[in-house]
Amino acid sequence: MRLWLTSQKLSIRTRNEDINMKKINDFEEFIEKLEETLNDIMNEMNIQDNKPVNISVSVNIIPVMTANPGDIFISRKDKTPVDVLETEKKIHVLIGLAEIEPKDIMLTCSGKTLGIYVNNPQNLVNEMVELPARVNKTGIKTTYKNGILEIIFNKTKLVKKSRNSQQSF
Taking only the tens place, the pLDDT of each residue in 5-20 is 444 444 444 444 444 4
Q: Of 32, 25, 29, give the one whose Cα is nearest residue 7.
A: 25
The H or E element containing residue 85 is: strand 82-86
> What is the distance between the alpha carbons of residues 149 and 100, in angstroms, rounded to a whole number?
10
pLDDT of residue 55: 61
Q: What is the pLDDT of residues 59-118, one digit of tens each?
A: 544 444 444 555 555 444 567 888 888 888 899 998 888 888 888 999 998 888 999 898
The H or E element containing residue 37 is: helix 25-44
Task: Print burial letters for 123-143: b (CB count within 10 Å at least 16), e (below 16).
Answer: bebeeebebeeebeeeeeeee
Sign of the torsion angle spanned by Cα atoms 120, 148, 49, 44: negative
Q: What is the mean pLDDT of the chain?
A: 70
- pTM for the full model? 0.48
Q: Of 73, 85, 147, 141, give the one whose Cα is nearest residue 109.
A: 141
136 pLDDT above the threshold of 80: yes
Fold of 82-154: Immunoglobulin-like (2.60.40)
Q: Residue 32: which pLDDT band, with cuts at 50, 70 and 90?
A: confident
Q: Residue 119: which pLDDT band, with cuts at 50, 70 and 90?
A: confident
Domain with CATH 2.60.40.790 in the chain: 82-154
pLDDT of residue 64: 44
What strands lie across the sheet with 148-154, from one edge to the other?
Answer: 82-86, 90-96, 148-154, 141-145
Q: What is the pLDDT of residues 43-67, one digit of tens each?
A: 777 766 666 666 665 554 444 444 4
Q: What are phi and psi of 3, to 5 degrees?
A: -125, 125
> What is the distance between the alpha carbons of residues 87 and 80, in angstroms, rounded to a whole number?
23
pLDDT of residue 150: 92
Whether 136 and 156 have beta carbons less than 8 Å apart is answered as yes
Question: How long, in residues, is the chain?
Answer: 169
Q: Residue 138: which pLDDT band, with cuts at 50, 70 and 90?
A: confident
Question: Any residues with CB less than 8 A from the CB of 47 and at least 6 apart, and which?
Answer: 53, 76
